[in-house]
Amino acid sequence: MNSNPTWPQLALALALALVGAYVIADRAGRWLEATLHTLIADERERHLVDRSRRAIRILIFLISGAALSLIMLRLIGYHPTIGRNPDVFAERVFSSGLHIALIAVAAFIVVRVGSAAIRRLQHEMSTGSGLNVIERTKRAQTLGQLLQSALVVIVSVIAGLTVLQELGVDTTAALAGAGIVGLAVGFGAQTLVRDVISGFFLILEDQVRVGDIAVVNGQGGFVESVNLRTIVLRDDEGTVHVFPNGEVKTLANKSKDFSYYVVSVNVAYDEDPERVIAAMKEAAATLMDDSNLRVHILEPLEVFGVDAFEQTYLVVKTRIKTVPMKQWIVGRELRRRVAQTFREKGISIAVPAAAPPVRKT
């Protein structure tokens, strides 16, 4: 160590170095902030840039302060022995320190730009018109939160490993240990992982939404919630049924986009099928005169015709297309009006013949 410089000279050199570092950090911070504001067009994301501005400036100040301090001390003839060679230390400050700063900034930009893209996707998924806008919005929010969390975890892990490599830390052992731990956790929680993956694709493909009427594994009910792990149904009796997503083998959605209500009528063979069909169309047409029911009907009554021949009667089958969840209201009223029209026109509904009693021997 060279003791020729006096302590006022050392203090002045360090003060000048710190002032220079402050100026560099201020200028670099302003430039970086302006660049990030240019890259991130979403106003809702810009407050995150302002929140991180101080941390970025402190990081730049520390790196530039260390480098300028070495330069100023050497200019006044003071040669500190940091490590084996001060030149090596300066090189590490300018190279590794700068690389770490760039990695942190790059990770920040990737997370922020990715978050903005996810928000844009979320907005696109939830916009539009229709009867299921609320359900689409819920699905978009669920997927958005999941993707954003995954993005932050992946970018943080990659950035952390890269920083460790810049610091000279061998990450091979850490990766091997993490792989072993992940394998053990995977074996222990494979059912949970299967449920979460199945739930992700179930939400992504929009197979079922909150508010639908669905049949899951043979059990029907009202869908109260759709989570990444479970689907919750409530049946007509109020019983709540919880199904893990990985255990869902069959799923039938009765209220997606639109619904049908099927009406089949049994009439005697001596009735004219055309007369029966005309009476059913007439009864269905009266539904359009009811303002409370008209808004639920999407198409007029569709007649399939004679659908089956039974032993004592034939079956006439029809259906009517309605708004989701309204098929039962429309269908029950249609049955009532069909029965009323049949009575007015003298058309009798056939009753299946009772099975003969079984004789006991």
Domain range list for the chain: 7-169, 172-256, 259-345
CA atoms within 13 A on the CB side of 291: 0
pLDDT of residue 79: 59
Residues 209, 324: Cα–Cα separation, whole Å: 12
Query: CB pairs under 8 A, 24+ apart, for 132-137?
Result: 132/209, 132/257, 132/324, 134/211, 135/209, 135/210, 135/211, 135/212, 136/206, 136/209
Domains 172-256 and 259-345 agree in fold: no
pTM, two decimal places = 0.51
By C-alpha distance, which of 85, 84, 88, 108 is closest to 96? 88
The class that CATH gives domain 172-256 is: mainly beta
Q: Which CATH number fits domain 259-345: 3.40.930.10, 3.30.360.10, 3.30.70.100, 2.30.31.20?
A: 3.30.70.100
pLDDT of residue 243: 94
Residues 116, 82: Cα–Cα separation, whole Å: 44
Q: How far apart are the first and last CA of the chain?
A: 121
pLDDT of residue 221: 92
pLDDT of residue 2: 47
**Across the 361 residues of the chain, what is the mean pLDDT of every consecutive 10-residue run?**
62 80 81 69 56 68 73 70 51 63 80 82 70 64 75 83 70 65 68 83 80 90 86 91 92 86 90 91 90 89 89 91 88 93 89 62 54
pLDDT of residue 1: 44
